[in-house]
Amino acid sequence: MVKDQSFILLCAFFTGVLISFIYDFLRIKRRIVKTGAIMLGVEDILFWLAASLISYVIVFISNDGQVRGFTILGFLLGIFLYYKLISGFIIKIFVGLLKLLIKIIRIIIKLILKILKVISSPFRFVFGVIKIPGAKLFVKIKNEKTKLKHKLHTRHAEKTPLRTKSKAKKKKEKKSKKSKP
């Protein structure tokens, strides 16, 4: 009897740890990829459905589907200890690894693009000599975009005056003008 109950408690404990571990992957994904409110809700619903299914299966296998107080205690204890002892470490490790992996992928993509640029340079020379229809249009659009950015930047600079005198200097000037007559 006690042997069976300790087994059930242990199964519930490790189920709590497993559910928390799965939720950490959701947290890691959210730190790497920003998601909107709707997608956040969908992810949470899917997580809780999966967590419920896992809990149900474990309780059914270990205790013939009978939920007892120590089963719930095992779940909560597993979740609590996982978050207090392991969760922060797991998240830091996986976020760091994923960021490193993303950097490596970006470097590889940049290298591939540079290699393609070198390989395609003779073709660009040939196509540069041969007139490509629409090429002037793309150059014109690029020039207009640059002009527009320049106009917006100069208008913003005109609207925001440069502060040359501090408030204290302005007050001194006003006092000196009043005292001179």
pLDDT digits (tens, 9 = 90+) for 33-55: 888 889 999 999 999 999 999 99
Q: How is the chain split into domains, by residue range?
A: 2-115, 128-158
pTM over 0.75: no
Residue whose structure tokens are 């242990």:
10
Q: What is the pLDDT, as a whole number, of residue 67?
A: 85
Q: What is the pLDDT, as a whole number, of residue 56?
A: 92
pLDDT digits (tens, 9 = 90+) for 96-126: 999 999 999 999 998 988 887 777 776 666 6
CB atoms within 10 A of CB 62: 19
Section 54-63 average pLDDT: 90
Q: What is the pLDDT, as a whole number, of residue 169?
A: 65
C-alpha count within 13 angstroms, C-beta hemisphere, residue 25: 7
Q: Which long-range contacts (CB under 8 A, 24 or more apart) does 61-67 make?
A: 61/11, 62/7, 62/8, 62/11, 62/12, 63/8, 63/11
* 75 within 8 A of 16, measured Cβ to Cβ: yes
Residue 154 has pLDDT above 70, yes or no: no
Alpha helices in 64-134 (DSSP H): 69-82, 88-129
Burial (CB < 10 A; 0-12, 13-18, 19+), residue 75, is: buried
